Amino acid sequence: MYHDTFTVTDGRLTVEASGLAGVAEVIWPEDCAPSGTTAVCAVAQVPVISPDYSPQVLLEAHAAEGAEAGKQGRTTYAATATGGPEGTAG
């Protein structure tokens, strides 16, 4: 989650990981609140992309027990934030 023209605040990243069933298990970071296969991750400040930028939410995934070699899965996400110019960004 990033913004390339201005810093915004109160970011929310919603990650949906049901596409990883039988493939991988997600280890959610502390700033994420999981509920089933979805989690909402809080990002206090979303900085402008720069050489000093660092990722805001790092998801860790491990192969699910019994997962077949080469099997793939997918996550989807949506991001929103407030606090940018004129109060909103997304």
In a domain, 34, yes or no: yes
* pLDDT tens-digit readout, 34-47: 999 999 998 877 66
Q: Is the pLDDT of residue 17 over 90?
A: yes
Strand partners, 46: 8
pTM tops 0.75: no
- 60 three-class SS: strand
Number of domains in the chain: 1
Q: What is the pLDDT of residues 53-82, one digit of tens each?
A: 666 788 899 999 999 999 999 999 998 877
Residue 66 lies in a domain: yes
Q: 3 in a domain, yes or no?
A: no
Is 36 within a domain? yes
Residue of 33 and 57 predicted with greater confidence: 33
Instruction: Compute CA distances 1 → 49, 65, 72, 82, whole Å.
Output: 10, 30, 23, 13
**55: Cβ–Cβ under 8 A, 6 or more apart, which residues?**
none
- pLDDT band of residue 88 (cuts 50, 70, 90) is very low
Residue bearing the bigger pLDDT, 14 or 58: 14
Which domain covers residue 52, as residue numbers? 8-89
| Alpha-carbon gap, residue 40 to 64, rounded angstroms | 22
Determine, yes or no, domain membership for 58. yes
Is 2 a domain residue? no
Residue 71 Cα to chain centre, angstroms: 22
- 3-class DSSP assignment, residue 49: coil
Whether 1 is covered by a domain: the verdict is no
